[in-house]
Amino acid sequence: MNLGLSEERSIYLQIAERIEEDILRGILLEEERVPSTNELARAYAINPATAAKGINLLVDQGILYKKRGIGMFVAEGAKGRIIEKRKSSFYDRFVRGLVEEAHSLAITEEELIAMIRRAREEEAK
């Protein structure tokens, strides 16, 4: 059982994203212990080294930290760091392309903003 991991993307990245999602949703709180690499390996039926690679990625980003002999914990300010990282990614992946396409279609800034507002209103319904 792999609990929905995709074959299309690196598993260690998906593990890191699942932990990030748990932090964003308040399932894992600051200073709370996260599952060990062995626990993750069992839950997702993956190699512990793969789980460790996902954990270490989050350690490198300051999202998690190690308490020697105890395990990995959510760092103070982790939720804010994840939000900022994802906002930056959102900008790079979506906003820049949106603005480029709008420019190529001669859509003005005002028209683009109006389109975004309309989409948000439709989403709220």
Q: Is residue 65 within 8 Å of residue 73, measured between CB atoms?
A: yes
Sequential pLDDT tens for the chain (125 residues)? 345 777 778 999 999 999 999 999 999 999 999 999 999 999 999 999 999 999 999 999 999 999 999 999 999 999 999 999 999 999 999 999 999 999 999 999 999 999 999 999 999 98
Rg (CA), the chain: 19
The residue length of the chain stands at 125
Q: Exposed/middle/buried for 51, CB within 10 Å: 0-12, 13-18, 19+?
A: buried
Range of the domain at 118: 79-124
Domain match, 38 and 58 both: yes
Report the predicted TM-score, pTM, of the whole model to 2 decimal places.
Answer: 0.81
Domain match, 16 and 30 both: yes
Domain match, 54 and 71 both: yes
What total number of domains does the chain contain?
2
Domain match, 30 and 84 both: no
